[in-house]
Structure 1
Amino acid sequence: MNYRRINLKLKHPLAFWSAFPDPSERVFWYDSQKQTLIIASQRLTTVQEKGIKNYPYVFYSQSFFEQVKGELWQDMGNEIIAFKHYYIQTKTDSYVLSCDPLPDIKDQETVLQHHSYEEEAPEYTEWVKLYKKLQENITSGKTVKIVASREVKFTSLTPFNVEAILERLVQNNPGAFIFAYHKSGKTFLGASPEILVQKTGNQVLSYALAGTMPRALENGAQLLLKDSKNLQEHQIVVQKIKEKLLEKVSQVKIEQTDIMTLKNVYHLQTVLKAKAGEHSLIDWTKHLHPTPALGGHPSRAALDFLRANEKHERGLYAAPLGLIDSQGNGTIIVAIRSALLKDKACYAYAGCGIVAASDCQAEFDETKIKLKTILEAL
């Protein structure tokens, strides 16, 4: 496919997103670590993996579970998509790659709309029921860790403004990957700190990100590095990612465990690196998902429990998504700190890892802190 380059420097990049209203399909991707923004607009075609090389970038996503139940998440994910237009902004350059005429782009500032919304009744009673089942499962020896999640619905008097929410997500979450995928009147968006797998040439890396402490807690980072419950939870993830990598390579480099500092929480983080070998980014994604940071351990038993006992559909929450370039390089994150917007409804998601030493109330409070990523953007 032939794309022409058009020099375009926007003071307000979200103007490119706004220039393609419904029914245009769109992707927003901001890598704050590299300060690179890509906005893809208007679906061109669905691509087979061998055809990725024919497009500047493709958007890849897969649902958390292989099959999606219920109407809310229907037709979202499990595709490789090429687009007609790509707006690319780096620290040194700004341009469009397009295979079709562009609409008029008005470089207008995003109005940071404040949303008035109501939360559905708190679900702590349901959480307690789920937690008891979790601990029974762990005590029986079926699992060591399960990552439980909550879906919290917020309703606004007016439709949620995606551009305003994305603007705030970028402002509020340095170090994270800000993403949005809009299709059929629904927008899935968030600010994820977690890389499932990143491929650059013949190198791949993955984040083990598990173990959490509120930033509001005095000396929270130091406490997290010494907390036995969180260290156990984190080590399960490190070990399992290492084992999965070693199924395809002969050597894995494990860096020192450190603290990832986010706006509202601290996380334990360990980076693992290996040679990519003959395996593609999508191969690695399918091989590693879900890590014990998103599903649990042992994986199959934890996933079976979640499928049977979580009442909501995860859809793309905690699932792999990202952009892949024509060389097969890219970053696939897990879509946490996220929400699905549909008209006046916002379905926000948050999860936490449960082990034998967990506390029911503390884990529920952890999900409330994680939900702040979305609520502060509203």
Structure 2
Amino acid sequence: MVEKMKYIKNDLILKNPLSFWANFPESERFFWFDPQKEEFVIGAERLRAVDPDKDNLSDIPYLFHSQTFFDDVKGERWKNFGGETIAFKHYFVANKKTSYYLTCDPPKNISEIPLTKIKHQISEKASDFSDWEELFQAISQNFTDGKSKKIVASRELEFLSQSPFELESILQNLLENNPNAFIFAYQKEQRIFLGASPEILVQKNGNQLLSYALAGTFPKTMENAGEKLLTDPKNLLEHEIVVQKIKKNLLEKAESVKVGQTGLMELKNVYHLRTLLTAKSSKSSLIDWGKHLHPTPALGGEPRHEALTFLRKHEKHERGLYAAPLGLIDNEGNGTLIVGIRSALINEQKLYAYAGCGIIPSSDALEEFNETKVKLKTILEAL
């Protein structure tokens, strides 16, 4: 039986919440900004990994949960990174009403650390367009064979920096550039996964559930992009595939499901089609729901098994935590799991940026490639 922990609450006001993160440079740590609540939660120094199905977690203020995209992880890049539910020794919570420090250890002396934004000098290792064309052709053949009706393909781009990446600078830029997104970071030893995700996989508050269908994209550089997106047949079809699959999966475990109106989600560089789905269920935990819904057709494809089998065979990179569920759970079991998109993995002076897009039979290889370039701006503009 795991010993019950007692967290002591201390008032702590910081001009910039990132100062708390910066006070633990060598620790395992996470950063979380919830735009709905306008709340920061930051954890530092691993206490232990927990099993939500067996452990009593009522004494732990927050748990950071992540799930790898595939059940198995190939290669060294993502090895032993993510795929856990973790309790931390120290937490900082700040919103419009309150600001405090929770610890089950002797409290650290948290100092205000001046944060300087810098412009990283980076270079792309190599173009991957030929790999993209090869992947697109394989997807087209899959459609021709009648196996899938949608597959979400992704790219991994490697960048080199002339100096180590300044994480606080990147996170500050992500916060300023993406006010409607969940800003997240998770660091374990030398590796850091971070990003600005606009997409909720599942959110739980008591017996109330919320999920986003987020699929269909136009760049904001297009004239009247939002209006055109709302009537574009290709994007509406891609979006409807996601809506119907999430609804079906929710109904498998929920007591009732409501599908909202499809509208626009506006981000810094793009518009997305978004439909909110709400449900009622008192039977399953947030993590169970995350496992049940992942991946939606917005991240994997449809049918799910065929799309995942295809991606495992044909994508040359390992997804790791990219496009996978991660998020925060409170001591009542409520919280939010997003999907780790608009994201990058940093390891010392290397950065691996990820972007994907949904492909259906009417898709064009170059148009979809250009869509991923727009999505990559979320990370590149933060550097």
| TM bracket, shorter-chain basis | over 0.9
Task: Give the CA deviation at 1:102.
Answer: 2.8
Aligned residues: 377
Please point out which of 12, 28, 33 is paired with 2:36.
Answer: 33
- Residues in 2 aligned to 1:178 and 1:51: alpha-carbon distance in whole angstroms: 28
* Distance (Å, rounded) in 1 between the aligned partners of 2:263 and 2:238: 14
1:5 aligns with 2:5: no
Q: Is structure 2 residue 264 aligned with structure 1 residue 259? A: yes
Aligned to 1:358: 363
Counterpart of 1:132? 137
Taking the aligned partners of 1:104 and 1:254, their CA distance within structure 2 comes to: 48
TM-score computed with the length of structure 1 as normaliser:
0.99
Instruction: Give the CA deviation at 1:104.
Output: 2.5
Query: Map of 1:241-256 to 2, 5 A cutoff?
Result: 241-256=246-261
Deviation track 1:277-296 (CA, whole Å, cap 9, x = no partner) reads: 21110111110000000000
Distance (whole Å) between structure 2 residues aligned to residue 113 and residue 51 of structure 1: 43
Offset of residue 33 of structure 1: 2.1
Partner residue of 2:205?
Answer: 200
How big is the shift at 1:46?
Answer: 1.0
Runs ≥4 residues deviating over 4 A:
none
Deviations 1:151-185 (A, max 9, x none): 00010010111111000000000110000000011
Equivalent in the alignment of 2:62: 57
- Partner of 1:18 in structure 2? 22
Q: C-alpha separation between the residues in 2 aligned to 1:277 and 1:237?
A: 24
Tell me how far apart the structure 1 counterparts of residues 61 and 281 of structure 2 sit (CA, whole Å): 21
Question: How much has 1:336 moved relative to structure 2?
Answer: 0.1
1:143 and 2:148 are equivalent in the alignment:
yes
Contact 2:22 2:113 in 1 (8 A): no
Amino acid at match of 1:48: D
- Residues of 2 paired with 1:300 and 1:283: CA distance? 19
Q: Say whether the 8 Å CA contact 2:47–2:88 is kept in structure 1.
A: yes
5+ residue gaps in structure 1? none
CA distance in 1, matches of 2:343, 2:51: 27
Q: Which moved more, 1:116-125 or 1:264-273?
A: 116-125
* 2:331 alignment partner in structure 1: 326
* CA deviations over 1:119-171 (Å, ceiling 9, x no partner): 12211111111101001101211000000000000100101111110000000
Q: Which residue of 1 aligns with 2:375?
A: 370
1:270 corresponds to: 275
Which residue identity is paired with 1:98? T
Question: What is the distance in 1 between the residues matched to 2:205 and 2:330?
Answer: 10
Cα RMSD of the aligned pairs, angstroms, is 0.8
**2: distance between equivalents of 1:133 and 1:337?**
25
CA distance in 2, matches of 1:290, 1:156: 32
Q: What is the distance in 2 between the residues matched to 1:141 and 1:120?
A: 36
Looking at structure 1, the residues matched to 275 and 150 of structure 2 have their Cα atoms a distance apart, in angstroms, of 18
1: CA distance, partners of 2:99 / 2:222:
41
Q: CA deviation at 1:19?
A: 0.7
Task: Tell me the amino acid that sits aligned with residue 327 of structure 1.
Answer: E
Corresponding position: 1:227 with 2:258: no
Q: Which runs of 5+ in 2 are unaligned?
A: none
SS of the counterpart of 1:226? coil
**8 Å CA contact retained: 1:13, 1:107:** no
Pairwise CA distance, 1:7: 0.2
C-alpha distance in structure 2 between counterparts of 1:236 and 1:277, whole Å: 27
Q: Percent identity?
A: 58
